[in-house]
């Protein structure tokens, strides 16, 4: 999904929710959608400020949940204290797992269609209805271990 189309979706989402379309929100949105890798709130602040230097940290933190709710952005919590975000691909109903390299700090997203089935099975046994699922694998880089340097590192 290209950025102008996505931006339009976001504008519509805001309006429909009774929220205002502000320059800051658009700057933060554009900055977020331009990313190809996972990013944190702090890095998004930098990117957004490059577009509109009036953007503040508070507004980034206030805008992130809105973008996540609009389903144009996905939140990824890998248990490192800070949350990561990533633009959501089209047709985002697919379940994805994250493989996090402890050496590179890179996050790889892998489809894991069985997650939905597992969540349903297991939840219904407990009298619960699943809301969301996450599957994460932490791993170490083989190349780094064997050769002392990781091709993906920086």
List binding-site positions for Zn(2+).
101, 104, 141
The H or E element containing residue 31 is helix 23-33
Q: Which of 50, 77, 80 is nearest to 64 (CA)?
A: 77
The H or E element containing residue 39 is strand 39-40
The span from the CA of 118 to the CA of 11, in Å, is: 36
40 binds a copy of itself (CB under 8 A): no
8 binds DNA (CB under 7 A): no
Q: Which is nearer to a copy of itself, 52 or 109 (by Cβ)?
A: 109
113 binds, among a copy of itself, DNA, none (CB under 5 to 8 A by kind): none
Least Cβ distance, residue 46 to DNA (angstroms): 13
DSSP letter at 89 equals: P
The span from the CA of 152 to the CA of 57, in Å, is: 30
Whose structure tokens read 């994460």?
136
Contact residues for a copy of itself (CB under 8 A)?
77, 79, 97, 99, 101-102, 108, 110, 112, 114-115, 118-119, 122-123, 126-143, 145
Contact residues for DNA (CB under 7 A)?
15, 19-25, 40-42, 54-59, 61-63, 81-83
């Amino acid at each position: 999904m290209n950025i102008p189309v996505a931006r339009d979706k976001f504008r519509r989402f805001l309006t429909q929710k009774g929220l205002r379309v502000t320059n800051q929100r658009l700057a933060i949105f554009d900055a977020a959608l331009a990313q190809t890798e996972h990013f944190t709130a702090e890095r998004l602040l930098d990117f957004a400020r490059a577009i509109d230097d009036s953007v503040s940290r508070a507004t980034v933190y206030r805008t992130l949940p809105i973008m996540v709710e609009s389903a144009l952005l996905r939140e990824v919590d890998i248990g490192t204290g800070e949350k990561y975000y990533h633009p959501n691909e089209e047709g985002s109903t697919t379940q994805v797992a994250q493989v996090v390299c402890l050496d590179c700090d890179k996050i790889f997203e892998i489809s894991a269609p069985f997650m939905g089935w597992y969540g349903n099975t297991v939840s219904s046994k407990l009298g619960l209805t699943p809301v969301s699922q996450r599957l994460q694998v932490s791993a170490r880089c083989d190349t780094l271990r064997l050769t002392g340097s990781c091709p993906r590192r920086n």
